[in-house]
C-alpha cells in the first residue's frame, strides 16, 4: 500500500513543507521558493474542500 495515498492533508502539507527546496534551504526561508500571501490564500480555498465533514463542523463551531 502506498503510504502517501493514505496521508491526511496536514501530513501531506508537513511532508512537503519540511522538504528542502532545490536551493537546499527550507521553503519558508528561501526567497525564491516560499509562498506569497496570495498563494497561501488560494491554497486555503482549494484545501478547504478536502476537509472531512467532521473537520468542517469543528471549524465552523470554533
pLDDT tens for the 62 residues of the chain, in order: 344 567 787 887 777 777 777 888 877 788 787 778 888 888 888 877 776 676 666 766 76
C-beta separation of 22 from 14 below 8 A? no
Range(s) of the domain holding residue 27: 9-61
Q: Within the chain, how many helices (H) and strands (E) appear? A: 3, 0
pLDDT of residue 62: 64
pLDDT of residue 55: 67
pLDDT of residue 9: 76
Tell which residue, 16, 15, 33, has the closest CA to residue 24: 33
Distance between start and end Cα atoms, the chain:
35
pLDDT of residue 2: 43
Number of domains, the chain: 1
Residue with cell 532545490: 22
pTM of the full structure? 0.40
The grid cell for 54 is 467532521
Amino acid at each position: 500500500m502506498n503510504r502517501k495515498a493514505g496521508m491526511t492533508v496536514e501530513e501531506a502539507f508537513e511532508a512537503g513543507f519540511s522538504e528542502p527546496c532545490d536551493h537546499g534551504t527550507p521553503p519558508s526561508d528561501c526567497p525564491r521558493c516560499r509562498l506569497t500571501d496570495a498563494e497561501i490564500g488560494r491554497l486555503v480555498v482549494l484545501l478547504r474542500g478536502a476537509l472531512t465533514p467532521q473537520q468542517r463542523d469543528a471549524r465552523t463551531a470554533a
